[in-house]
Structure 1
Amino acid sequence: MRKGIIFVLLCAFWPTVQASAQKFGYVDTEFVYSKMPEYQKALGEIDKFTDKWAKDIQDKYADIKKMQRAYQAEEILLTDEMKRDRQRLLSEKEREARDYNNKVFGYEGMLYQKKKELMRTPMDMVIRAIEKVSVQKKLDFMFDKASDFVMLYTNPRHDYTEYVMEELGLDVNAKSGKPNTVAGAVTNPAGTSTDNKPTTKQ
């Protein structure tokens, strides 16, 4: 669902930048989310809805198979008109199942909308924390390492992930166990591990 949420540009929160060098930093939002109870809870709720809707669709197709078997067993005893009625009913049931599947799992369907609803709270929390840290540290730009914006190299001194985690009340020491993965992956924390908390920011 989420593939690194944002490429955050927060220039609007500071006075006009002078001719001096601009200050910037980056945050690994994917790692931050992986440590948030609110995010994990949202993922659990999404899984529940996904399983429920998937079962509903499976049940619809199971009923269709039963109807097909019954029709095949009785076909020889049916008149042409009765056959046409049964075939029409089967076609309607199959169309209903396909439509429901598209309604749930299709583009911007029920599952997509439910994800947006459930992820809104953790997303807003992270954005507010990023904005606050950016203002406190007087940054002109804050990048999202987990976004589609490719960062070919990142200097740990510009990593503000732990500051954002502190702002959210998360365990900053957990960052030392961060695995190396491809940036932008959905299911795992992204980016290169940075064990040392940044000191001074230029």
Structure 2
Amino acid sequence: MKKIIFTLAFTFLAITTSFAQRFGYVDSDYILKHMPDYASAQKQLGALSDQWQKEVDGRFQEIDRLYKTYQADQVLMAPDMKKRREAEIVDKEKIAKDFQRQKFGPDGELEQKSSSIMKPIQDKVAKAVQAVAEAESLDIIFDKNSELIMMYANPRYDKSADVITRLGLKPGVFAK
């Protein structure tokens, strides 16, 4: 009888451990801070954003100047001249807002440029994460910085340094 219970208990333990999943997590911000490609991409996108923002600001400053001039001259203008100047200001404002949306909108040029620049970096990190997972026989790797909420994570499961090493970089240069 003891032999049967022992065998059943051992079988049950073997079955439950075979279904156990191994997991780890990474800190994507920490990994990206170690990547020179990422820093370069951020600088490139920042410069592009600054350039376009200056253009947008210049257009709105011109509109503001036109409006102030219009207000100062309004008393002396004929009604048809008022309408033309108002229409000119409204048209320029519409063009400036369209330009701003074209550059900075959800599907704007900055978003498209960001996607095209960041995709190779993201792919590189994803391949390194996959390689670490396969090398350590992990079933799941979470990203500590994603929408997934981690209330606690044991540091021994942090695979960020392994991913950095897999990318051919040196961990520990940047503090977490």
**Structure 1 residues 91, 173: CA separation in 2 closer, same or farther (over 3 Å shift)?**
closer
Corresponding residue for 1:105?
Answer: 104
Cα displacement string for residues 126-148 of structure 1 (whole angstroms, at most 9, x for unaligned residues): 00100111111111111111111
In structure 2, C-alpha distance between the alignment counterparts of 1:76 and 1:152, rounded to whole Å: 66
Query: Which AA in structure 1 matches 2:31?
Result: V
- Deviation of 1:75 after TM superposition, in Å, equals 3.1
- Deviation of 1:20 after TM superposition, in Å, equals 4.1
Query: Which AA in structure 2 matches 1:147?
Result: S
Secondary structure at 2:20 match in 1: coil
Report the number of matched residues: 160
In structure 1, C-alpha distance between the alignment counterparts of 2:86 and 2:45, rounded to whole Å: 37
Corresponding residue for 1:33?
Answer: 32
Secondary structure at 1:143 match in 2: strand
Deviates more, 1:98-107 or 1:162-171: 98-107
In structure 2, C-alpha distance between the alignment counterparts of 1:53 and 1:119, rounded to whole Å: 19
Cα displacement string for residues 133-184 of structure 1 (whole angstroms, at most 9, x for unaligned residues): 1111111111111111011111122111111110111112336x32xxxxxx
Which entry has the higher C-alpha Rg, 1 or 2?
2
TM-score, reference length from structure 1? 0.73
Identity of aligned residues (%): 34
Corresponding residue for 2:63?
Answer: 64
Query: Which AA in structure 1 matches 2:84?
Result: D
Corresponding residue for 2:116?
Answer: 117
Corresponding residue for 1:141?
Answer: 140
For structure 1, list consecutive stretches of 5 or more residues without a partner in the other structure: 1-17, 179-202
Secondary structure at 1:174 match in 2: coil
TM-score, reference length from structure 2? 0.83
- Give the conservation status (yes or no) of the 8 Å contact 2:49–2:110: yes
- RMSD, aligned α-carbons: 1.7
Query: Which AA in structure 1 matches 2:172?
Result: N
Query: Which AA in structure 2 matches 1:68?
Result: Y
Larger relative helix fraction:
2
Query: Which AA in structure 1 matches 2:41?
Result: A
In structure 2, C-alpha distance between the alignment counterparts of 1:44 and 1:31, rounded to whole Å: 18
In structure 2, C-alpha distance between the alignment counterparts of 1:37 and 1:165, rounded to whole Å: 12
- 1:84 has 2:83 as partner: yes
**Structure 1 residues 75, 20: CA separation in 2 closer, same or farther (over 3 Å shift)?**
closer
In structure 2, C-alpha distance between the alignment counterparts of 1:46 and 1:61, rounded to whole Å: 22
- Deviation of 1:85 after TM superposition, in Å, equals 0.9
In structure 2, C-alpha distance between the alignment counterparts of 1:147 and 1:169, rounded to whole Å: 24
For structure 2, list consecutive stretches of 5 or more residues without a partner in the other structure: 1-16
Corresponding residue for 2:8?
Answer: none
Cα displacement string for residues 46-70 of structure 1 (whole angstroms, at most 9, x for unaligned residues): 1111101111111101111222233
